[in-house]
Chain A
């Protein structure tokens, strides 16, 4: 999925091309569900949000602008809809009116890792990240899993670019204490350099 190709599709979709619209759905259904799944494990709720997002896209298509990146636009919209739905669900239990009513968590795939060191390091990463507030966990996901830039992240999370820098900085602040290179890694690496 290239951005230029997406924007072409977006242009035809805005003119009422149903084929282009359904292709956008085809290419983004998976990644949007994957993103939504980090906020809630309730499959039905994510599907409702994707449904609402696409229905709104079609019915308001004439008024839509051309986003810098279609993926970013869809992520941002889905996030907005999903958070509102989660808020509504919690209406009767959440009394302190928190700004960020959701949690954010990923499922690590440790079975695919063969080396024991990798499993250990992944377990350490996992326990480090799980201590962070949800917003910090989310920025780590957008940064390292989706590979987005600070500007794109700021757009999706509806925060200022400076705040995105700060948020990631905070999320990684304690990393040094938790990690620091292990001796086995040093040996491995010096061997690698010898071979080059």
Chain B
């Protein structure tokens, strides 16, 4: 923060500035002395600063409505409602299995039917990518999938209006699904879009998200919209996961390992642009990315090296820069041979 940054500020510029507003609301030694030296360096600006301070202060002179007298009463109502809803829940438990058993049977039969149909109908389009190759696939409904290296995407050629849109994926893809549904109370079959992975199904209406199904792990990161993940194995337990933007979920086989909020959701799809971007990455994650995106093979003298971590953010535009960062921050020797082979050692 430089004093000169503020030399040209008008009244509203001060009011739009984060540092200024925080200085007025939460004054401390630091920001007070900053503004004092600003006022003495630019005395002609001093009245504007003072007025901006006054505007914030006087705006903040407001009546507070804390509603203290109702606090106890509202809490009592909440407690009653919670008790009531928990009683209802207990009752329901006995009805669920019957309903779910029927639902599960239908899902299994429908699943098997679709699978057999897809085997024999022969009208499936399949797109594969080699290591290091990225392809953009336009689906019949104009939804877009950016397919990462070493991945396969397949779908039926003609999409019927009375059928959900369905694709099958192995590897990694970044989906931008067209939102067709216009009335959320009336969802037509073709409004649904289902991504089949090895162990889970992802169901959406219209969103952008990233799916990675590799090495026995499936991870899903949602950028916009809302999606539901149905675990194929536990469908009888009814454990669907609903995700909101920024959410990240990881499955190992059929089990949900982690679900968390991503600090930088956009980073997970950095592979779809030219950037290489990581946050708190381990050497293992970096080598996996090199393998999947660029087709490198990596050997390490000592496998414990894979667990070393680089704290913070890395954003670079090419592999050479990335290897440079890894070598210098972790003090490792990295050798690259001609046939896309990398050796990491101490």
Contact = CB atoms under 8 A, between A and B. Distances in A.
Contacts of B11: 175-176, 179-180
Contacts of B30: none
Nearest to B61: A109
B47 to A, nearest CB: 4
B12 A172 contact: yes
16 contacts: A29-B67, A30-B68, A34-B64, A37-B65, A58-B78, A59-B82, A65-B259, A118-B58, A121-B58, A125-B55, A140-B59, A144-B59, A147-B26, A172-B16, A181-B50, A185-B50
Contacts of A12: none
A67 B39 CA distance: 40
Nearest to A168: B16
Given A51-B78, A172-B15, A193-B39, A108 B62 contact: yes
B247 A65 contact: yes
B109 interface: no
Interface in B28-83: 36, 39-40, 43, 46-48, 50-51, 54-56, 58-68, 70-71, 73-75, 77-78, 81-82
Interface residues of A, number: 58
B85 interface: yes
Interface in A171-193: 172-173, 175-176, 179-182, 185-186, 188-190, 193
Given A47-B74, A68-B261, A147 B22 contact: yes
A118 B54 contact: yes
Contacts of A143: 21
A51 B36 contact: no
Interface string B216-231: 0000000000000000
A46 interface: yes
Residue from the set B21, B25, B63, B242 with the largest chain A CB neighbour count within 10 Å: B63
Given A51-B74, A51-B78, A33 B65 contact: yes
B18 interface: yes
Contacts of A47: 67, 70, 73-74
Interface of A: 22, 25, 29-30, 33-34, 37, 43, 46-47, 50-51, 54-55, 58-59, 63, 65-68, 106-110, 112-113, 118, 121-122, 125, 129, 140, 143-145, 147, 149-150, 165, 168-169, 172-173, 175-176, 179-182, 185-186, 188-190, 193, 196
Contacts of A168: 16
B27 to A, nearest CB: 12
Given A66-B261, A196-B36, A145 B62 contact: yes
Contacts of A180: 11, 51
Contacts of A140: 59
Given A58-B82, A122-B58, A144-B56, A179 B63 contact: no
B48 A181 contact: yes
A106 B36 contact: no
Residue from the set A63, A129, A172, A180 with the largest chain B CB neighbour count within 10 Å: A172
Given A29-B74, A176-B10, 18 more contacts: A30-B68, A33-B66, A37-B65, A50-B74, A59-B85, A63-B242, A65-B247, A106-B63, A107-B62, A107-B65, A112-B61, A118-B58, A121-B54, A125-B59, A145-B59, A181-B51, A182-B51, A189-B39
A162 to B, nearest CB: 13
A79 to B, nearest CB: 16
B244 interface: yes
Contacts of B26: 147
Contacts of B58: 113, 118, 121-122, 125
Contacts of B55: 121, 125, 179
A112 B70 CA distance: 26
A118 B53 CA distance: 12
B36 to A, nearest CB: 7
Contacts of A22: 75
Nearest to B78: A54
Contacts of B43: 190, 193
Contacts of B261: 65-68
A99 B148 CA distance: 40
B62 A189 contact: no
